Amino acid sequence: MDKKGIKFDVCGLPFPYFAVFFAIVMISVYGGFLPTTTLAEELTATSFVATVPFLMAIGGLFFWLGNTIPIVNNYLGGACLLPLIGASFMNFMGWVPAEMVAGVKVLMKGGFQDAYIAMLLVGAILVMDRKIILGATARYIPTVIGSQVFAIGFAMLAGMITGFGIPEALFDIAAPCMSGGSGGAITTLPKLYSDLSGMDMTVNAGKYLCYASIANVLAVVLAAIFGGVTKMIPGLNGDGQILRKGAQQDLAAEKRPGTSGDYKALGGGIFMCFCLYLAGNILGSLPGLSIIPGLAWTIILGIIIKCTGILPAQFEDYSVYSMNFALRALLPMLIAGIGINSLNFASLTEYFTPGAFIVIIIAVLGAFIGACLFGHLTGLFGYEAGVTAGLCCCNIGGSGDLAVLSAANRMNLLAFASISTRIGGALMVIWIGILYPLFH
């Protein structure tokens, strides 16, 4: 179905074919034909072959709607927000059978979310061009770190002034808004918090995504506003050039294949991502190293592998295939699963408080100011550094980067924005791994 340029594509199928398969799923779910299994304590849950197609169907449909609805798609994180809220609303209304709710719980608690995180984190690092990572280290990474320090500090200050709370401002707002996009807010951080606290923190995934979506809108607005303001201040706006003092700017990323017809390569990528996840878990459990959680160690191992080049590019590509498989095939069902299993729809209104809005505004401002200052000190133009290292750290990921850069008229700086989203998100996970025990 393609009307007025809107293409229907859910689970890789056009509307006529998807409708047939969707009908089969719905008849199975609501007609009493669900295959189930009995678990401990006489818990009846749907089997894997029933749970997965249900989540793919509703998650994929909501994901398509979120990608299609104007404004919601580019500025509010609709592609991720609608499956989360939509699936949670269905559960709240009692439209999801109890056996299916139990099946989703078994799937999510059984490691599906961990598998997704492993493929996402490792692939996101290994997809980066080594030239970009090494070339940006001296100037750009310190700018990203400085931006995050300012954002964290401003958020904590705002939390204290508004009464929202310092730990709440840091871990509920600053971290989700700078965790590498919507995926970091709804998957990586809840997993990290659960590991650090020993409690199930996935129930807060909806809150984190809501705050990240608000920060995304604010980042787009500030990118447009500060573009005009900084032009009136000599030396602060580079008119699209990010490096000052004649520094080389040839940091364009090499193209990597997104997928392969060799499914052994995809399997190899999944295997390596899972193994690095396990290696990180081992390091995070060793005496003296446990101050950094296993998830952060996985990221560190990925960065070491990428920067040293010890893994041949061919095998790096394998991990990129697994990352794209997770993003393109598994993300909608993952978000729908989180919505049913972890998000209490009735509590959503509790997240939108004046204190939370103030903390978000001040945190995003802090990110921009910190990036401007540190960028200037390391030889970058302040505005370009503020947009890429600051505001592109405070959005919902790839689409957020495009929205911010479009508002700033700086699309040529997408490679730097990618560093902020990927490496910046990884750095935030490490930050939180160190800071969380100090406040709890």
Whole-angstrom Cα distance, residue 385 to residue 368?
8
Contact 10, 21 (CB under 8 A): no
> Phi and psi of 258, rounded to 5°?
-85, -20
| pLDDT higher than 90, residue 349 | no
Whole-angstrom Cα distance, residue 273 to residue 120?
9
**pLDDT tens digits for range 251-264:** 455 556 666 677 89
Contact 174, 368 (CB under 8 A): no
> Phi and psi of 264, rounded to 5°?
-65, -35
Cβ contacts of 415 within 8 Å, gap of 6 or more: 132, 251, 252, 253
Number of compact structural domains in the chain? 2
**Same-domain status, 264 and 181:** yes
| pLDDT higher than 80, residue 297 | yes
Kindly report the average pLDDT of the chain as a whole number. 83
Q: What is the mean pLDDT of residues 128-151?
A: 79
Q: What's the pLDDT at 203?
A: 77
Whole-angstrom Cα distance, residue 199 to residue 209?
19
Residue at a domain's end among 110, 127, 153: 110
Q: pLDDT band at residue 113, thresholds of 50, 70 and 90?
A: confident
Residue at a domain's end among 52, 77, 110: 110
**pLDDT tens digits for range 303-344:** 889 888 899 988 888 988 888 888 888 888 988 888 888 767
**Same-domain status, 87 and 187:** no
Whole-angstrom Cα distance, residue 33 to residue 14?
26
**Same-domain status, 27 and 167:** no
Cβ contacts of 199 within 8 Å, gap of 6 or more: none
- For the entire predicted model, the pTM comes to 0.70
| pLDDT higher than 80, residue 135 | no
Q: What's the pLDDT at 57?
A: 95
Q: What is the mean pLDDT of residues 188-213?
A: 82
**Same-domain status, 155 and 72:** no
Other beta carbons less than 10 A from residue 42's beta carbon: 6
**pLDDT tens digits for range 10-54:** 888 999 999 999 999 999 999 988 888 887 667 888 988 999 999
Whole-angstrom Cα distance, residue 193 to residue 432?
9
361 or 428: which leads in pLDDT = 361
**Same-domain status, 131 and 92:** no
Residue at a domain's end among 110, 144, 173: 110
Whole-angstrom Cα distance, residue 48 to residue 59?
16
**Same-domain status, 53 and 86:** yes
Full DSSP string of 344-407: -GGGGGGG--HHHHHHHHHHHHHHHHHHHHHHHHTTB-HHHHIIIIIGGGSSSSHHHHHHHHHH
**Same-domain status, 133 and 53:** no
**Same-domain status, 104 and 136:** no
**Same-domain status, 85 and 125:** no
Q: What's the pLDDT at 17?
A: 94
349 or 242: which leads in pLDDT = 242
Which secondary structure element, helix H or strand E, spans residue 224, and what is its range? helix 205-231
**Same-domain status, 195 and 239:** yes
**In 3-state terms, what secondary structure has residue 10?**
strand
Whole-angstrom Cα distance, residue 409 to residue 241?
12
Q: Which two tokens stand for residue 63?
A: 């994901």
**What separation in angstroms does the CA of 265 have from each of 261, 322, 325?**
8, 9, 12
The residue range of the domain holding 85 is: 2-110
| pLDDT higher than 60, residue 228 | yes
* Calculated CA dihedral for residues 220, 221, 226, 228, nearest 10 degrees: 110
**Same-domain status, 294 and 403:** yes
* Calculated CA dihedral for residues 13, 401, 303, 148, nearest 10 degrees: -140
**Same-domain status, 159 and 86:** no
109 or 137: which leads in pLDDT = 109
- The DSSP secondary-structure symbol of 35 reads -
User: Counting every residue, how long is the chain?
Assistant: 440
| pLDDT higher than 70, residue 197 | yes
**pLDDT tens digits for range 61-99:** 998 998 888 776 665 656 777 887 889 889 989 999 999
